[in-house]
Amino acid sequence: MKKCSKCGAESVGEERFCANCGADVSVNRFGVVGKWLSGGGCLLALSPIAIALLATPIGGNMFSTAGDGGGAALFLLLFSLPVGLVVSVVGLVLWLSNRSKK
């Protein structure tokens, strides 16, 4: 059962508007999607650093592009950083626009 955020009345079914005060009680998922997109964009942007760190053997150089390090994975930052930034910005816009509607 959903509660109206304006008057606190409980709705029984899947009504879009509150029967008591007429306020919109439909669930808006843009805020949740925005949070997941912004977090996922940050992970996408910085994931090559974790890949390079995990691919480097103990005592190796993380920045080496030779066989003893995961430095080649750092070149993925050329792709993942701008794409992750765009995804994060889209998520933040969705999240903040949902917050301003309340």
The answer as to whether 15 is a domain residue is: no
Q: Which of 46, 76, 72, 77 is CA-nearest to residue 61?
A: 72
The answer as to whether 1 is a domain residue is: no
Is 32:40 a contact under the CB 8 Å cutoff? no
Helix (H, G, I), strand (E, B) or coil at 45: helix
Rounded Cα gap, residues 28 and 73, in angstroms: 39
pLDDT in tens, 44-73: 999 999 998 888 888 888 888 877 778 888
The answer as to whether 10 is a domain residue is: no
The answer as to whether 32 is a domain residue is: yes
With vertex at residue 80, the alpha carbon angle to CA 68 and CA 62, rounded to the nearest 5 degrees, is: 20
The answer as to whether 46 is a domain residue is: yes
Total count of domains within the chain: 1
pLDDT in tens, 22-51: 877 776 677 788 889 999 999 999 999 999
The answer as to whether 55 is a domain residue is: yes
Domain limits for position 35: 28-100
